Amino acid sequence: MRCPYCGSTNTQVKDSRPSEDHTTIRRRRVCADCGGRYTTFERVQLRELTVLKRSGRRVPFDRDKLMRSVQIALRKRPVEPERVERMVSGIVRRLENMGENEVKSEAVGRLVMEALKALDDVAYVRFASVYKNFREAKDFEALLGELTAADDDEDVPTDRASASAED
C-alpha cells in the first residue's frame, strides 16, 4: 500500500486488528522510507458497483462518499459510530445484492432514507429534505407546465387572461 506522504511502496504493517463486529480489519502501517504512519481498512466487497446519476453520468460507487453524506445528516446526533458503520455496510450489501453492477443514484438515496428512518428521526428529516428537493424541483417544473396550460381555463380572471394573451 503506497505511502500517502512520500509515495513509496516500501511500507510495513505494524499492527492489524478486526473491528468489533469483525466486518473490517484495521491496519496500522509505517513507511520505511519517510517514517509516515497511516491506517488502512480492509473489508469485503462482493462486486464493483457503478452509480448512474440523474445527469446520466456514471461514477464508481464510493463507500466513503456515502459515509460522508450519512455523517452530515447525523451531525451532532447521539448515534454510536459503530451503528453508523453497520448501517452503511448494510446499505452497501443491499446494493450489491440487487444483482446489478449499475445502480441509480435514486436507489441509493432511497436506501439511505430507509436506513436513517430506522436509526434517527432528525437525521432522516435532514437527509430527506435534501434528497427530495431534487425531485421536487422537477415536480415543480411539471406543475408550472400545468399552470401555463391552464391559462385558457374559464376560472382565470379576465384581466389576467388578456394580459397574458398580449405577451
Residues at the interface with Zn ion (CB under 5 A): 3, 5-6, 8, 31, 33-34, 36
10 or 16: CB nearest Zn ion: 10
User: What phi-psi label fits residue 58: left (phi over 0), alpha (psi between -120 and 50 degrees) or beta?
Assistant: beta
Give least dist CB 14 to Zn ion, A.
14
Question: How many C-beta neighbours within 10 Å does residue 143 have?
Answer: 11
- Closest separation between CB of residue 9 and Zn ion, Å? 9
Q: Given the complex with Zn ion, which of 8 and 148 has the nearer CB atom? A: 8
Residue whose CB is less far from Zn ion, 31 or 112: 31
Residues 122, 128, 131, 134, CA torsion sign? negative
Nearer CB in complex with Zn ion: 36/90? 36
The CB-of-1 to Zn ion minimum distance in angstroms stands at 11
Strands (E), the chain: 11-18, 24-31, 37-43, 50-52, 58-60, 102-104
Could you tell me which of 48, 120, 46 has the C-alpha nearest to residue 79? Answer: 120
CB of 4 to Zn ion, least distance (A): 8
